[in-house]
Structures are given as C-alpha cells and as structure tokens.
Structure 1
Amino acid sequence: MKYKLLAAAVFAAITPQVQGATPYVLEELGNLDYAKHAYVTDANEAGQAVGMAQGVFNIVIDIAELDFESSAMTTAYRNRERVFENRDEEITFTLDDIENGNINGDAQQFLQDFLREYYASSLYQKISGGRVSEFNIAVEYNDSTQERVIYDVEHPDYDGGLTRSVENILTSIAEDGVKAGWGSAPYTKIQFTEDGETESETHYIRDFTRRGFVMTNTGERVDLMPTEATYGGISGAYNIVQVSDGYLVVGETSVSIASDSQESLDESCDGEKVPVEVCHESYVTSGSRPLYNRHATMWRLDNALNVIETVDLGLGIVPDEDEQKRAWRSTALAVNENEIAVGYSVVRYRDGDSIRQYPVYYKDGDVVEFINEYDYLSGGRAVAINNSNIITGYASKNIENTARNKFFYHNVATGETIFPTDFFKSSSVVATDINDNGLIIGQGEVETSSSASRRQEAFIYDINKDTFTNLNDLLPCFANDGESSFPYVVAEAISISNDGTVYGTATKTVDKRDAQGNVVVDANGKVEQESVVVSVKLKYNAEGVAEKCPEKAQETYERQGASFGALGLLLLPLVAIRRRFFK
C-alpha cells in the first residue's frame, strides 16, 4: 500500500448492499447519474476514494463541424445499417435526422463511435482518449460522488458546457484528501489552409497531452510542470504520500528530447499539409519513435503544495553515444515514507548490449533491478511498496508458449523475490497494492480457455500465512432475498487499507441504458439488461466465515461472471490499461 498516514477524516459510509456473516461485506461507492460505469483508483485510510466514470451520457457533438456527405460519414452509416439488419431491425435514424438536430439514443451512439473511429485525424472533434477508449470523468467518492474538473473548459460550441475533449485522471489520494493525477489540455479549433489549396479546414489542436498535478480538497489545482516542456512536454503524478512537512509525489516527466526524433520532426513538420501543432503531437504521442526521454521523478511539496524540489530518480541504463540519439523511459508508480519509490525502467538485458524494460525500485540515487532476466521476460511493473519496504508488482513469464504475468513481492532488506502460487499455472495475475500487514491484492484470470481475454477476478494474498484467496469466495452466495445469486462479481482489487478494507471494481446486471441515458426496451416492450462496472468497498468482517455455495448458486455465479460480452475489454488487467494511467 502506498504509505497512508492516519487521519481524523471520516468517510460517510454508503448503505451496504449486502449484510452477512461472511469475511467481507460489499458496499457500492455510488456512480454519477450521468454515466454508465464507475471505477475506483485509490483510497486512503480515512475511507476517502477517487476514481473515474465512463460511458458518459449525452456528450454534446458539434454537428456544425461534420460533413454528412463525406465518404467517411456515409460509409459509417451504411455499416451501421448492416448492424441493424443483422439484428433483424430497422435503423432508427437517418443522417438527415442528425443534421437537423433530431438525435435519438442510437444516433448519439453512432456519432460517438464515428468520432472515436477517426480520433487520429485532427479534422474531427475529440471525445475520447483514443480510438478504442471511452471518454472518462474524474470522480471523488466522499459524502456523495462528485465530478472533479481538471483541465476542461466550458465552450459555447458545446451548448456552453465542458468540451469533454480531455483525459481526466485522479490516480492517488493522500490521508488529508489532497489528490494527485494527470490530465490533458482541451482541444481548440483553428482554421488551416493546406499548401496549394484555397479553402481552409477546421483542425483540432491542444497545448499538451499529459500534465501531472496535485489538487486540494476544494478543487484547486497545482500543476507539476515537465522539465522539458517544448511541444507541451509530458508529466504525470501517479502516487501522493503525506509526510510531516508536506507531501511526496512520484511519477514521471520529460527531461530532454532525443536527437533522432528531433531531426525527424524538423524535417516532417513543415506546416504544408497539416498544422505544425498536429504534426508535433504525432511525435509526442508516438509509441514507435518516442520524442522525449522520460524519467521517474519525485516532487517534494510543502504543506501549501508549493514544489520545493524536483528529483530525477534516474534511468536503469547509462546510454552510450549512439543510444543517446534515441528516447528512453523510466517511471515511478508508488513511494513509501522511507522515500523508496517503485516502478519500471529500461535496463541492460543480461548485461549485454540489448535494452529491455523491467520492474525496479529507486533508492538513495540508485535504480535497482531485482527480477531474474533469465527466468522472466521483458515487461512487468513494481506497483506498490509498504512501510516495511516490501514491494509488490508483476513480471512476465513464458508459460505454455504464451507470455503470462505473475505477481511477486520483494523484500528490499533481504533482496529476496517471491512469486506465490496463484489461481493456476497459466493464469495471468497482477498485484495492485500491499498494506503494512503484508496483505497483497490484485486480479487474475480464473478460466483456462485459450481466449485472449480470459475472465478475471480479484484476489487477496497474505504474505505471513502464504494464503491466496479469490475475494469472491469471501462474499455471500446469495442476495438479500436469500434466493437470488449474489449480484456482484469483484473483478479488480485496487487499494487495501491497513484494517483490511479493499476497494475495487465489480460487475452487476442493471437495466440497459443507451448513449443518452434512456432505458432500452425490446420490440415487446420489455426492459433490456446489461452488465456494468461499479466501484465497490469490501469492508472486512473479522468474525465472518466464508460460505460454501451450493452447486446451483455457483453455476449461476460462473455464468454471470462470464457474460460480460464487450465489457470484457474493460476488465483486462487494468493495472496496465487504466489503474495507474500510464501509457
């Protein structure tokens, strides 16, 4: 567990969904009424939590900027018609309807899908973090769930509301409620005329793609500026810890620009075909040819959130002259009160010339690798550290000719790294947090199918007892009526307090709602159902006893857990996708 000082703040508990004599009692943290899914990203000892909402209803689309006669739009519409035909249904809207402002739930979903499909083009409005990722809202779970606006702004083109063109990420919360995270700048419209053309076109640009920040309880934001800020720079805050004289925040920042990438940018970004800002961002966000050297960083802040010191935690290699032409990366994901940070970095692979990425920790100016490169593949993360300097995370291993993640814990004092037994041999399992009592949580695959997206569930592991348990086995078999199956499947365990309280995400079945938030009914007028993701709190019950579920209830539970459909993409090991929000 990222170090959590004791505090007097009290978290107002939400009415429990289930009361029972099991080891854990599940409570929903509550979602915004204008979003479908809810996720938790961190919680403190006082019970305050932060997270995000996805599936936001009624995102405003700037219809005036869409060309309804373009091949892109008409092709997308024909493809959507075929989707309806395959369901033996007639499409419920036309492009003329949309252009005239008559937009129903199906049309709203069509527009959102269209804009996500063309996310990479600067000619289209932005409402997501990428082609396949939904727009998200940063939320704080307190007396009630509330949205926290980070970098977004209100604009008349969106009915005077927020542009919804930014990424909003709260990654961590300190014991007094001060939060850390990162976000992107809102997109703005500019007119650009391509070289040789006479008519201008609208393009969408932004000032930066990722900037770290800390935020007070009242929503006041303090930016953590990147060391190298040319073309916007990059910084991210992934964990905050309260200490006696202020706060420690760890993450990453751009520290310099790779010469090869700079040379390529200078040659390509001439402003003839697209705005130079658009070209610059293509280099900033490039995964194949990164622009920036990004280093793990620790910021020291005083109690007023003034940045006192910015510490470069280093890189796991010392690049030679040729290697200095390329960009390299290290990142810190968590820190404890002893100022030991953990994360990942590039390192020398088996002491040769090759460079790979492995979990590391940062201590006293050193970048320390501790995973055996001969047993484990490149990749993995060290994600959390407790006050006894026990690190947890995961590394990748070749099992049955497939790369699988396996969780570990590492003792800094002894140098020992342990990979406990988990769900089964070929299950990919990742850890997400550890508390001061040696309890590790995370999630792993619970089915042995050959599918690329196996169903996953949350676990808890006790270092002292060497016991590994599916958290769902510590919850009731039945709902409150004593007959229906328990309505939740806990897919992720994200944060664990010293008293054993676990925060995570679960799935449950609810009335289906469309992109405008309307309840969906079938041709017979029956309300349709769907699985959604909800943020949950699992309160530890020391007197509880695990129930042995009857075979019938267990079968129902398995079917429910396997019926996520498209939601399965949201429930992959999210420590790599969403939880710490690094790319």
Structure 2
Amino acid sequence: MKFNRLASAVILYTASLPILAASYTVTELATDTLGPIQYGVSIDNTGLILTAVENIYNAPVDLNTIDFENATIIANLTDIESAKNGVFNLADYTYLINIARSGSSTFSYFTQQLGRLQGYKTDGSVNSADFINAFDTESAELNGFSHSMNTTPRDSAGGTHIVGNSVGPFRTIDYVTDSGTESKYILSDFDRRAFVQVGQNVVPLLPIDTTLGGISQVNSINGNYLAAGSGSVAPSATTTTAIENCGVDETRGDQPIEACYRNILIFGQGTSTASRRTGVWSQRATLWSLDVEGNVVDTTTFDTLVTDEEELAAQGSSQALDVNNNGVAVGVSSVKVDVREQTVLTTAASLFLQSGEVVRILEDDDLLPNSAIAINNSGYVVGLRSQSINRVSRNKMFIYNMNDDTVKFPDDFFTSSSTIPRALNNNNLVVGSADIEATNTSIRKTAAFLYDIEADTFTNLNTLISCSSPFDLIEATDINDNNEIVVSALTKRPSKNARGELLLDESGESILVDTVVTLKLNPTGQAPAACTDEELGVIERQGGSTGVILFTVLAFTTYFRRWLMK
C-alpha cells in the first residue's frame, strides 16, 4: 500500500508511455538499527552505499561537560550519584542526551556536542554498516568515538575514496572571568570542512583561504579521484574588522579569544534563533585532485559569471556540484541580470571547464534562477530551474547536451508538479523526486522517479517494485552504472527510545510510527508487474513531503547544494 487514488491516476497515465525500465527488488539497509531516521546519500559502481543517520541510538555521554553542581541538573536527574559515575537509568540518560543535542543545535559553547547527522557506509548486506569517522577521534573515556560533529558523506569512488563534510573537532578551553569565575568553553577550530577518507586515512580538503579555519564543501568525486565542491578564497571586509576587534581586550569582552572568533561565524549563539552567518568569506567552485591514498595533489578554483566587479564579495559565489571523468564540472554561479530596470544578482547553471572558464548553460534570463545538478561522461547535464506556476514557485527539470548545445524540459507527472533531479548515471538515467499530488499547498506528497533521457520516459519508481511492498518510495538520491538505485522511503516501524529499545503501549504492543528508511533497489531485468488500484491502496499517514530531502533544500536565492545527502 503506497499511495492514494490521485497518485494511481498519475501512474495509469505514465503507464501509457513506452516504459523501458525493468522491475526492481528491494533491500532495506542495515542502518535502520543505528537511529530513528536514515537518509540514503550515494551508491558507487562497486555497490558501496553512503548514508546519514539522524540522532543515533546510544550516543555517548561526556561526563566532563556536565556540571553536577548546577541546580537545574540536580533537579532533573533522578539518580545523580549513579550519573556521576557514568551509570544512567533511561530517564537520566535521555535527559542528558537531550541537553547535548539541544545545545549542539543552538551552537552552545557550554554543553556536550552531539552531531545530529552521522555518516555510515555499507555494501547493502544485512548487519553491514561502518562508521565514517572523518575528523572524529576515539577516547577511552567515551569508550569509542565522540560523535560530536555533524558529518555528512556525499559521494564515493571505487569503493575506497569517500568524500564528505564535517565540523572541526571540539576541544575544551578553561577560562577564568574577570570576577574570578571558572568556566569551560567547548569550541571547534573550524566550522565546516570537506574531507576525503580512504580506509582510516582522513585528509582535509582545504580551501584557498583558511581565515578562521575557512570553509570548504565537497559534493562529488569522479573515477579519477577528482573531487568537486567549493571553498573560501578570501574573508569579507566585515570579517577582517571583526577579527581585529577580537584582538582588543575592550572590544572582545570577558571571553576567550577563541569564543570571540567563533562569534564571528555564529549568530545568536545559545539561543533558539542561532544560525551560521552568511557572507563571512567569498566562496568559489573548487576541484581537488587526489592520489590513490587520498592526498591532495592539486587544487583549482573558478571565478563566477560576474566579471565587472573589482571586489570579490560583489562577484557573488560559485559551487561545483558534480564532475565527470573528463574533468568537466557543473554547478552554479552568481550572475547579474537586469530585471525591471534594476540589476540583480541571481544564480545560473554553469559548466566549469578544465581551461578554467566558467560557462553559463541556459542563456535565457527568463529561465533564471537555475542550477546544474549532475553530469555524465557522455556530456549530458541534468539541472533544474525555478518556475512560477499558479503563483507558487515550483522546480522543473531540464536536460542539457554538451555535444550539440541543446536543452529540453521533460514532461513530469503533471504540469504543476515540482521535480528535483538528484543524480544521473552513464546510461543516461536520471533519478530524483517529484510531486504526485496536485494540491495548491507548497508542500506536497512526493514519489521517487526514474527518467530515461533517450527514451524520454518519466516513471514513478513505486510502479517498478512489488505491488505488495510496504514501502512508499518518496525520493531517489543516486543511481550507479549498474542501474542500482538508493532511495528514501516511508514505512511503519516500531518506535524506539534513545537507547534503541522498543517503546510499548499499555497492552505491551509495539507503537508503530511513520519512519524514513533507506533502500537499495536492485534491477531484475524483468518487466514490472501491473498493480491494480486495490493493490496500490490508500495510505494513511502524516508527512511524506519534500521536507525529507537530506542535508539541504535547494535554494535559488543563494547558491545550490546537492544535500543532504548528492
């Protein structure tokens, strides 16, 4: 039972097209035992799958970060003496873990840090899931890794080279205030940095400018170990001034200089409105060339499509989202256009060529803003543009062919359906997610899709799996050259507590809740079955919208990232 009758009508429509896709069997990944929500990220040609798990079960408690003399802590712990010795009942464990997660989400300097997302790799077999530690380290006190940093894997090559993004390791700084009060600040040396991990060898993918640690983000890696992303190339004038002020006692205030530097990066630290500041650096599309051990042998940065400004900040930003084996990268770049007699800065789908040139893909200003998401070795590029339909902004997919400079906008499920492509393989197949309900709301129910460029067929992946499947495929995140697909799906699963133990109702029965799980779809080579309307059924659940997209919602008003999980 997967979708409602309106969705069934959509399926009947698409079934009339020459669907060439084979059916798929479904494998649920072992990461469902690690946390309540799992997001599939990528799958390479060896079958290695990367996932991100949200709020892992049995996260470690760092006793060194807990003030057991604090009145609030004393009032809320039920067995404080046992807790001091690292022995927690469920209530106390849950309370302390929630403090750490809440403090981490608001960038607090005074609580244990726990990353919301943790990266894992798996070959898809049962009970096979290995932690991607990135910059995390093991300690005897925590009996393993700290899991303090948000770590989001993005892509892999050859089953060996894993690229992703993480936060710097946290360390404790002891500080005595002017009044003599002792305090502990928990801070990281850098905020966001790309990495490549080969076995246990972790190499940072550094930006050109490392002021305040700089910022780098990686999105993909090709078969020649060329990684694509973006990095900081210079601090803004405001950042430079703020750094200078931190060096002056009168302007820094009664805090360690490391906290002052961190305040430059974080707005509203420790409050419900805390967020990362924008405009701290100028950022540019970047390619890192790696060797077989993961070491960086060369770094290339690209400009933007804005060439008439002397200051870097006025030129906007650029970011590479994918790169093929020919070394051609695609992504987005800022561009200036005239709108209603005003010059505005927006984003345009771009090619980043080996010559160093940045080329705009869609020259029509009426199609802005837009982004290029992925490129294959044949020169096909898949992207999306923002389009106003019935006064609501929707995303529409486009296909660009580098070989003949042609562009087409494929038909999707219906005219006002918002379509987000996520990946493209070398068999010219595109996967992603698209609306399957024609409601007037901004958030709609979605389905994973498979688009065949050559056959020009747009297929709901739910129609290619068993009619009796308990899974509702809501987003496809990647496809390899074996046509194996990683998808996020909704299904019913027993609710669990922070330790991963089942929650039971008054009758002692498991409490089933809607859960996002990660699946691998395996092509069978057989024609798909024709499901009846009764077999498709009507699913009764809350959610199932585009809000499940990992790591990042694509935002045209800034520059694009391929999420939250490629």
* TM-score category (smaller protein): 0.7 to 0.9
Residues 169, 276 of structure 1: alpha-carbon distance in 2 compared, 3 angstrom cutoff:
same
What do the CA deviations read for 1:219-266 (whole angstroms, capped 9, x no partner)? Answer: 2222222211121112222211123xxx21111121111223322443
* 1:432 CA drift (Å): 0.7
Q: Whole-Å Cα distance in 2 between the matches of residues 284 and 141 of structure 1? A: 37
Counterpart residue identity of residue 117, structure 1:
S
The counterpart of 2:508, out of the listed 512, 516, 525, is: 525
The counterpart of 1:295, out of the listed 284, 297, 300, is: 284
Q: Whole-Å Cα distance in 1 between the matches of residues 117 and 565 of structure 2? A: 16
| Aligned partner of residue 112 in structure 2, secondary structure | coil
Q: Match for residue 5 of structure 1? A: none
Q: Whole-Å Cα distance in 2 between the matches of residues 71 and 394 of structure 1? A: 53
Q: Is the 8 A contact 2:304 2:315 kept in 1?
A: no
How do 1:422-441 residues align onto structure 2 when only pairs under 5 Å count? 422-441=412-431
Counterpart residue identity of residue 308, structure 1:
V
Q: Is the 8 A contact 1:45 1:175 kept in 2?
A: yes
Q: Is the 8 A contact 2:551 2:565 kept in 1?
A: no
Structure 1, unaligned runs of 5 or more? 1-20, 78-93, 129-133, 479-485
Q: Match for residue 359 of structure 2? A: 368
Q: Whole-Å Cα distance in 1 between the matches of residues 263 and 48 of structure 2? A: 38
* 1:296 CA drift (Å): 0.7
Q: Match for residue 145 of structure 2? A: 162
How do 1:322-333 residues align onto structure 2 when only pairs under 5 Å count? 323-324=311-312, 328-333=316-321
* 1:520 CA drift (Å): 0.3
> Which region of structure 1 is more displaced relative to structure 2, 525-534 or 25-34?
25-34
Q: Is the 8 A contact 1:189 1:204 kept in 2?
A: yes
* 1:332 CA drift (Å): 0.7
Q: Whole-Å Cα distance in 2 between the matches of residues 492 and 425 of structure 1? A: 19
Q: Match for residue 337 of structure 1? A: 325
| Aligned partner of residue 375 in structure 1, secondary structure | helix
* Greater RCO, 1 or 2 (C-alpha within 8 Å, sep 6+): 2
What do the CA deviations read for 1:184-203 (whole angstroms, capped 9, x no partner)? Answer: 22211112234x43202211
Matched residues, number: 520
Q: Is the 8 A contact 1:345 1:358 kept in 2?
A: yes
Residues 24, 109 of structure 1: alpha-carbon distance in 2 compared, 3 angstrom cutoff:
same
Residues 325, 371 of structure 1: alpha-carbon distance in 2 compared, 3 angstrom cutoff:
closer
Counterpart residue identity of residue 102, structure 2:
E
Q: Match for residue 220 of structure 1? A: 201
| Aligned partner of residue 200 in structure 2, secondary structure | coil
Counterpart residue identity of residue 291, structure 2:
D
Q: Whole-Å Cα distance in 2 between the matches of residues 455 and 275 of structure 1? A: 48
Q: Match for residue 107 of structure 2? A: 120
Q: Match for residue 558 of structure 2? A: none
Residues 429, 205 of structure 1: alpha-carbon distance in 2 compared, 3 angstrom cutoff:
same
* 1:142 CA drift (Å): 6.0
Identity of aligned residues (%): 27
Q: Match for residue 173 of structure 1? A: 156
Residues 62, 215 of structure 1: alpha-carbon distance in 2 compared, 3 angstrom cutoff:
closer
Q: Match for residue 223 of structure 2? A: 242
Q: Whole-Å Cα distance in 1 between the matches of residues 368 and 69 of structure 2? A: 50
> Which region of structure 1 is more displaced relative to structure 2, 342-351 or 429-438?
342-351
Structure 2, unaligned runs of 5 or more? 1-20, 268-275, 556-560
Residues 106, 476 of structure 1: alpha-carbon distance in 2 compared, 3 angstrom cutoff:
farther
Q: Match for residue 214 of structure 2? A: 233
- Alignment RMSD (CA, Å): 3.1
The counterpart of 2:495, out of the listed 509, 512, 531, is: 512
Q: Match for residue 48 of structure 1? A: 48
Q: Match for residue 320 of structure 1? A: 309
What do the CA deviations read for 1:293-344 (whole angstroms, capped 9, x no partner)? Answer: 11111122233434222111222223624x4456832111110122110111
| Aligned partner of residue 239 in structure 2, secondary structure | helix
Q: Is the 8 A contact 1:259 1:326 kept in 2?
A: no
* 1:519 CA drift (Å): 0.6
Q: Indicate whether 1:453 and 2:479 are aligned.
A: no
Q: Whole-Å Cα distance in 2 between the matches of residues 449 and 359 of structure 1? A: 29
* 1:139 CA drift (Å): 2.7
Residues 220, 288 of structure 1: alpha-carbon distance in 2 compared, 3 angstrom cutoff:
closer
Q: Whole-Å Cα distance in 1 between the matches of residues 395 and 495 of structure 2? A: 34
Q: Whole-Å Cα distance in 2 between the matches of residues 503 and 419 of structure 1? A: 24
Q: Match for residue 488 of structure 1? A: 471
Q: Is the 8 A contact 1:432 1:575 kept in 2?
A: no
Q: Match for residue 15 of structure 2? A: none
The counterpart of 1:421, out of the listed 374, 396, 411, is: 411
* 1:169 CA drift (Å): 2.3
Residues 274, 581 of structure 1: alpha-carbon distance in 2 compared, 3 angstrom cutoff:
farther
Q: Is the 8 A contact 2:48 2:159 kept in 1?
A: no
Counterpart residue identity of residue 544, structure 1:
A
Q: Whole-Å Cα distance in 1 between the matches of residues 300 and 415 of structure 2? A: 40
The counterpart of 2:118, out of the listed 132, 136, 145, is: 136
The counterpart of 1:152, out of the listed 121, 136, 147, is: 136
Q: Whole-Å Cα distance in 1 between the matches of residues 306 and 314 of structure 2? A: 13
What do the CA deviations read for 1:174-218 (whole angstroms, capped 9, x no partner)? Answer: 125322222222211112234x432022111111122222222x3
Q: Whole-Å Cα distance in 2 between the matches of residues 164 and 188 of structure 1? A: 13
Counterpart residue identity of residue 294, structure 2:
L
The counterpart of 1:279, out of the listed 252, 260, 263, is: 260
> Which region of structure 1 is more displaced relative to structure 2, 408-417 or 456-465?
408-417
Q: Whole-Å Cα distance in 1 between the matches of residues 23 and 124 of structure 2? A: 25
* 1:514 CA drift (Å): 0.8
Q: Is the 8 A contact 2:208 2:232 kept in 1?
A: yes
Q: Whole-Å Cα distance in 2 between the matches of residues 314 and 434 of structure 1? A: 25
Counterpart residue identity of residue 357, structure 1:
T
Q: Whole-Å Cα distance in 2 between the matches of residues 179 and 476 of structure 1? A: 32
How do 1:12-23 residues align onto structure 2 when only pairs under 5 Å count? 23=23
Q: Indicate whether 1:549 and 2:532 are aligned.
A: yes
What do the CA deviations read for 1:450-471 (whole angstroms, capped 9, x no partner)? Answer: 4443222200111122211110
Q: Whole-Å Cα distance in 2 between the matches of residues 395 and 112 of structure 1? A: 41
Counterpart residue identity of residue 263, structure 1:
T
TM-score if structure 2 supplies the norm length?
A: 0.83
Residues 568, 200 of structure 1: alpha-carbon distance in 2 compared, 3 angstrom cutoff:
farther
* 1:103 CA drift (Å): 4.6
Q: Is the 8 A contact 1:22 1:547 kept in 2?
A: no
| Aligned partner of residue 181 in structure 1, secondary structure | strand
Q: Is the 8 A contact 2:333 2:347 kept in 1?
A: yes
